[in-house]
Structure 1
Amino acid sequence: MSPGQRAEALVVAIDHAESRAAAVGRRIAESAEDLDMVARRLGGAVAGDGIGSGAAVGGMADEGGWSGHAGARARSRAADAAAEARMVSGNCLYVADVLRAEGARLARAVISWSDDELAAPGTGDTMAVGEADRGLAKRLREAADHLTGHTDPATRPCIDLSGSTDDDPRAVAEVWHGLGPADRARLARDHPELGSVDGLSSATRDAINRTRLRRLLDAADTGAGGDGLAGAARGLSALAAHLEADPRRHLLDLHPDGRAVVASADPDTADRVVTLIPGTGSSLDTLDRTGERVDAMCEAAASGLEGAASNPGAAGWTPDAAVESCVAVSWQGYDAPADVATAGSSTAPARAHAADLRTFAAGLDAVERRDGDDAPHVAVGYSYGSAVLGAAAEDPGGLAADRMIHVGSPGAGVDSIAGQRVDEVGVARAAGQDEVVGVASRWDPVPWWSITGVLGGRPGTGEFGGLAVDVTEPDSGADSVRSAHSRYFDPGTVSLDEIGRLIAETD
């Protein structure tokens, strides 16, 4: 049999194993229902003595004072239930054995095929399959590993998304994509922490996190969450109200300590994604303001795409269309400094959660690529959020973004563009002048803080590098000093039009 034919045979074997695994899953689900029913019928006796021993069954009948026909019927029903439990338990063990044996058989076949056939020199058929066979061998190994590595000793599949992927969002996306609907539903129900796992689909994370938010609010109301949760209750309530205001919004991350990530719609289906990292004083209480700002950027980008950056009323442009083509993400995933004094003295708050921003962006990218999409992603750091953005892009792996825009930056968390990297098709490369942009008004005093070097360099300057975009309003004067820093995202301003243009031009 030629290597190509053996490959086809192995593919059939894999498909057969997957079918059997699916059947096993159904049997496990049915067995679980049976066990639940038995547990209800036996009550605490089963839980206390263990399923299948029968001792608890007899004790429940004898010590309970049952007698006559009623006692006989009770003992008979209890014995039947115990027998049923033993049968179900045996079925589950058999299921586990089937999975282990099937996976081991496929693993041996793959190893034998790849070692004996692919490694051997050959002509004709062997040369024809070439790299395709090698890629198939890798896929078959992964399939066999999946079957053998995820068989739980307790007789049901248990997928450990974090432990099996080394925190790689792309690996998470692959594992999640390979699960069946039943496994996904079970994991989502039993593990609310999955709502924070980067690499899962946005729709899944939204569903998990909304359930988690309701539970946190209930716990805060009853006092079950302790003082820590009580202190976060106001922010969680503000988050709930923010989500209720627009049903299209997606809750992509949630932490009881007051951190969250909210998207204006499903970013996995967007034409482009814009993520805003807000600055000093931002929190769950200010999500409405953050959301308005990032929505405004998306609308400005849509205007630019229609060739009407300064005319939102142009034909073919509507706010709803803007939201559908561009999804706005409010990344409140860090503990922002509460005041200017704290913000200006250290990059510690920025660096504390820079890795979270990095894996979040990688997760969006992983899901898009898993589904065959490649929507441009622009990350915008506003004020102190610029330091978070710069720190996230400093890692050797880079930030999975096509462009980074620093707005009103007091310092980008790093000293120069030389430390910035972007992720393009899975390969980190040094960011160039077009990928890092500094947007600032001459009347905004905040960017001048970068002279101190405490928070790093200022994007767009000669010392830092990158592209500088001056957005000073033509009719503004010294009286603009007090308002310049807070007006970057106001409709009708030069700054918003320029930010929209930059987003629209990103591909």
Structure 2
Amino acid sequence: MAFTMQTLLDADPGRIHIAAEAWLAMAGDLDDACEELIRGSRDLPDAWQLGPAAEAAQAANRDLLAEASNTEPPARRIGQALRTHADTVRGLQEMARQIAAEATGRGFVVDLAAGTVAAGTALASDSSGGQQIGQTISSYVQQLQSIIERAVDLDESTMNAIRVNLPNARTGFGTGRLQNVSRTDLEAQAKRSPAEVKGWWDSLTPLQQEQAILEFPYLVGSMNGVPVTDRDTANRSVLQREIDLSKQQLSPIDARLQYLQSMFDQGRIHEVYPDTSDPRTSMDVEMLKLGVQRSEIADKLHGMEAISSRLDDPDKPGAYLMGLSAAGDGRAIVAVGNPDTADNVVTFTPGTTSDVAGIATDLERTDRMAVDANQMDPGRKTSAVYWLDYDAPDAVTNAGSSDYADSGAPALREFQAGLRATHDGPPSHNTVLGHSYGSTVVGYAAREGLAANDIVFLGSPGVGWVEGADGFKVENQVTEPGGQVSWQKAGKEHVYASTSPLDAIDVTGIGDLKRFGVDPTNSAFGATTFTTDNKSWWNPVENHSNSYWEQGNPSRANIAKIVIGKGGQVS
């Protein structure tokens, strides 16, 4: 049967879209089931090692894992092809109707079903414009014919996508395994956008994803565009390795300290330092150096163990480790609730002195924000993400430099883009909250455009030399996962700020002029301000550090309102 304009107009893109979502949902279920199968049978070779029965069982398990793994990518590709088909059909139908409306408005008679255009009575009686009328009719017909040709090409490409992704009648999806993911593959992906990384990751079979996670957890765990659950699996492996390594590093230090103390107690310290005339001083110097080394390692180990404890706490909402590095002061990204499936997501960027060693307090703050928002809006899920993926100033004396914000801003922008790329379902309401120097990082990031709906500044030393709230860019419209339609000026409706009345941050400037620009709570800045109470009437440092998340402080309810998309109701 020939493809006609009527064929296109009779197509129902809504039903095609429903079919596409069904295929994609099935692909997701297959992926989840396959991952559960892979992890559930991971220890089979160790549990059942010897004999022909064990060998046969392991071979059968390998074949089952391979075929199960091979089913998900084809199902996903069919779903994506159908989704593209539905969207394109809808667009072509609209184009045809617009052409018909324009032609009719100019006096032509259009039969869309037949794809014909003719001059109306008034035009037909105009003998002076016959040639021009004929050319116009020809142009309209060619436009309609072009739409039909595009529809035919679309139909063929979609059918081909379905055909090549269906299982073989004899071998199903096969038991062969595709080539392993290499370090080079992952390093190449790390240079691409989060949306591109997500597309590449989805193209892998579950077995390929599992192999990449097991062999290269440091690379997979840090990659924006990889789904949260897979990053979590990789980073938990990284966390355990770093905890074990820290303990190994402590062992020789402790042994040396014990040895030095023992030799000193026995009066034999001169045997340890035979070439010095003052062995006691040499011992003191070495023990001081070892003590500093031990303290740095032990503090970081304590922080990593706090992360591990929070991840495994059965009495709190599920948490996901989205990033971890033990280099320097350490870096970590911990999500309370899964941001890929949440309706609301808040990213919390901490400030000066933040590091892995002291992460327990910030994790508690993150938990509180998630709990507050979920209690305020129980019908929708909220995820709160602690984001320390930048080098925060080590001390107040370092916090006067903008270098930390300059280097942290691009990483924050990339992370937020990653949240959009991996999110399942309708786009979530995303908020980015910066406290203290973290607000400066957020401000620097938002100058270039930040993938978020709203921005919150708490106890800020300034958010960059910008023209107030209009100097930031947030998303104009998000229509699909990974999609973003232009930037818009943030303005009062999307920028919120608050500072405790007796906050120590006031010493970072004179009046409303702070170290990094105008105080965002100043009315001239143009943000929406909200109420925060002091925790202490005599300790401004305590007010700056802890007041915003204290029980009973109105700032907690105000933050929750912003996070769930009701910022217009803040007090």
Q: Distance in 1 between matches of 2:368 and 2:462?
A: 24
Determine the structure 2 residue equivalent to 1:172. Answer: 197
How far residue 286 of structure 1 moved from its aligned partner, in angstroms, is 2.1
Q: Distance in 2 between matches of 1:164 and 1:342?
A: 34
State yes or no: 1:239 paired with 2:304: yes
SS at match of 2:188: coil
How far residue 250 of structure 1 moved from its aligned partner, in angstroms, is 0.9
- Is the 2:536–2:543 Cα contact (8 Å) retained in structure 1? no
How far residue 123 of structure 1 moved from its aligned partner, in angstroms, is 7.0
| Cα distance per residue 1:230-274 (max 9 Å; x no partner) | 855632442233332343221101112111101112221222111
Q: 1:220 to 1:470 in 2, by over 3 A?
A: closer
| Aligned partner (choices 338, 342, 347) of residue 398 of structure 2 | 342
State yes or no: 1:456 paired with 2:456: no
SS at match of 2:564: helix
| Aligned partner (choices 352, 361, 371) of residue 407 of structure 2 | 352
- Is the 1:274–1:294 Cα contact (8 Å) retained in structure 2? no
Letter in 2 for 1:252: M
SS at match of 1:186: helix
State yes or no: 1:332 paired with 2:397: no
TM value normalised by structure 2: 0.56
State yes or no: 1:204 paired with 2:257: no
Q: After superposition, where does 1:307-456 map in structure 2 within 5 Å?
A: 325-343=381-399, 345-368=400-423, 371-395=424-448, 398-416=449-467, 417-423=469-475, 424-425=477-478, 426-427=484-485, 428-447=487-506, 449-451=508-510, 452-456=513-517
Q: Distance in 1 between matches of 2:324 and 2:213?
A: 15
Q: Distance in 2 between matches of 1:458 and 1:138?
A: 55
Q: 1:347 to 1:2 in 2, by over 3 A?
A: farther
How far residue 175 of structure 1 moved from its aligned partner, in angstroms, is 1.3
State yes or no: 1:252 paired with 2:322: yes
- Is the 2:243–2:304 Cα contact (8 Å) retained in structure 1? no
State yes or no: 1:214 paired with 2:240: yes
Q: 1:420 to 1:448 in 2, by over 3 A?
A: farther
- Is the 1:281–1:339 Cα contact (8 Å) retained in structure 2? yes
SS at match of 1:268: coil
Determine the structure 1 residue equivalent to 2:335. Answer: 263
Q: Distance in 1 between matches of 2:187 and 2:489?
A: 29
Q: After superposition, where does 1:277-316 map in structure 2 within 5 Å?
A: 277-305=349-377
CA RMSD after TM alignment: 4.5
SS at match of 2:548: coil
- Is the 1:421–1:430 Cα contact (8 Å) retained in structure 2? yes
| Cα distance per residue 1:358-382 (max 9 Å; x no partner) | 11111111111xx323121111101
Q: 1:158 to 1:463 in 2, by over 3 A?
A: same
Q: Distance in 2 between matches of 1:200 and 1:226?
A: 38
Letter in 2 for 1:127: I
User: Where does structure 1 lack aligned partners over 5 or more consecutive residues?
Assistant: 6-117, 145-154, 307-320
- Is the 1:219–1:225 Cα contact (8 Å) retained in structure 2? no
How far residue 443 of structure 1 moved from its aligned partner, in angstroms, is 2.0
Letter in 2 for 1:213: L
**Which 10-residue stretch deviates more, 399-408 or 290-299?**
290-299
Determine the structure 2 residue equivalent to 1:152. Answer: none
| Cα distance per residue 1:134-181 (max 9 Å; x no partner) | 79979999xx9xxxxxxxxxx936472552574200111111122211
Q: Distance in 2 between matches of 1:182 and 1:433?
A: 48
Determine the structure 1 residue equivalent to 2:538. Answer: 479
- Is the 2:335–2:385 Cα contact (8 Å) retained in structure 1? yes
- Is the 1:440–1:447 Cα contact (8 Å) retained in structure 2? no
Determine the structure 1 residue equivalent to 2:77. Answer: none
Q: 1:132 to 1:210 in 2, by over 3 A?
A: farther
Q: Distance in 2 between matches of 1:138 and 1:355?
A: 38
Q: Distance in 2 between matches of 1:394 and 1:286?
A: 29
SS at match of 2:179: coil
| Aligned partner (choices 172, 194, 208) of residue 183 of structure 1 | 208
Q: Distance in 2 between matches of 1:2 and 1:200?
A: 44
Q: Distance in 2 between matches of 1:301 and 1:325?
A: 8
SS at match of 1:341: helix
How far residue 337 of structure 1 moved from its aligned partner, in angstroms, is 1.4
| Cα distance per residue 1:92-151 (max 9 Å; x no partner) | xxxxxxxxxxxxxxxxxxxxxxxxxx9x9957675246479579979999xx9xxxxxxx
Q: Which has the larger radius of gyration?
A: 2
Q: Distance in 2 between matches of 1:179 and 1:225?
A: 41
| Cα distance per residue 1:21-64 (max 9 Å; x no partner) | xxxxxxxxxxxxxxxxxxxxxxxxxxxxxxxxxxxxxxxxxxxx
SS at match of 2:337: coil
TM value normalised by structure 1: 0.63
SS at match of 2:492: coil
- Is the 2:437–2:460 Cα contact (8 Å) retained in structure 1? yes
Q: Which has the higher contact order (CA 8 A, sep 6+)?
A: 1
Q: Distance in 2 between matches of 1:282 and 1:326?
A: 24
Letter in 2 for 1:422: V
How far residue 390 of structure 1 moved from its aligned partner, in angstroms, is 0.8
- Is the 2:181–2:211 Cα contact (8 Å) retained in structure 1? no
SS at match of 1:412: coil
User: Where does structure 2 lack aligned partners over 5 or more consecutive residues?
Assistant: 8-91, 93-138, 165-177, 254-291, 313-317, 479-483
State yes or no: 1:156 paired with 2:208: no
Q: Distance in 2 between matches of 1:162 and 1:437?
A: 38
